[in-house]
């Protein structure tokens, strides 16, 4: 007898669901940031690229933190503190 995994229990389904949730959260957060800060579209485009690099948990945390952040500098610092930084390399002569 053939045993099939229910679709909702598959890795593909869970990954797609997580991706949809992250996309939805990102859209909501971008709207919230636009409404609060009224940044220029160019600034929002750059900010959106950075926000896409955050985890779903970080996006959720930013929903709460946004009330305490009052400037673009503070918002960028918050994002920077959660993004993985590339390893520092030294130039050899």
Position 15 scores a pLDDT of 79
Position 78 scores a pLDDT of 96
In a domain, 57, yes or no: yes
Provide the residue range defining the domain that includes 65. 17-80
Q: CA–CA separation, 23 vs 25, rounded Å?
A: 5
Position 91 scores a pLDDT of 54
In a domain, 22, yes or no: yes
31-90, pLDDT tens digit by residue? 999 999 999 999 999 999 999 999 989 999 999 999 999 999 999 999 999 988 765 555
In a domain, 44, yes or no: yes
In a domain, 92, yes or no: no
Q: Give Cβ neighbours of residue 55 (< 8 Å, ≥ 6 apart).
A: 82
In a domain, 36, yes or no: yes
**CA-only gyration radius of the chain, Å:** 18
What is the number of domains present in the chain? 1
In a domain, 25, yes or no: yes
Position 10 scores a pLDDT of 81
pLDDT band at 13 (very low <50, low <70, confident <90, very high): confident
């Amino acid at each position: 007898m053939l045993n099939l995994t229910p679709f909702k229990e598959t890795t593909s389904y869970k990954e797609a669901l997580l991706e949809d949730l992250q996309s939805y959260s990102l859209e909501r957060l971008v709207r919230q940031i636009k409404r609060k800060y009224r940044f220029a579209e160019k600034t929002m485009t750059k900010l959106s690229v950075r926000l896409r690099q955050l985890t779903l948990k970080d996006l959720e945390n930013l929903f709460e933190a946004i009330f305490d952040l009052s400037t673009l500098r503070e918002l960028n610092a918050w994002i920077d503190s959660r993004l993985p930084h590339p390893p520092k390399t030294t130039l050899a002569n």
